[in-house]
Structure 1
Amino acid sequence: MRRNRENTTWVDVASCLFRGISCLIGALAIIMLSVLILLALFYGLK
């Protein structure tokens, strides 16, 4: 039981870290896309 609990906690921590990293990557991707779109519109207006 103790080993199983430790394993589950480690799995939970790993899943939380993976989710946080994936969320950060998604946010960075959205920011990059928005910047690229703004640059394209800016150069298009020029």
Structure 2
Amino acid sequence: MSRLLSTPGVVLTPHLAGASRQTAANAAPILAEDVGRYLRGEPLAHTAKA
């Protein structure tokens, strides 16, 4: 188990800063575009580079 999970006084919360309705509306066409690219065997346009 992570030490953070058992440390007294630590509160862990998810990162939700970008989770607005507007963000979801903006992300939907981007996601749809990349799903279409994937299904056609094309390179994805919106991927994180590690």
- Shorter-chain TM-score bucket reads 0.3 to 0.5
- TM-score, normalised to structure 2's length? 0.38
Give the structure with the larger helix fraction.
1
Structure with max Cα Rg: 1
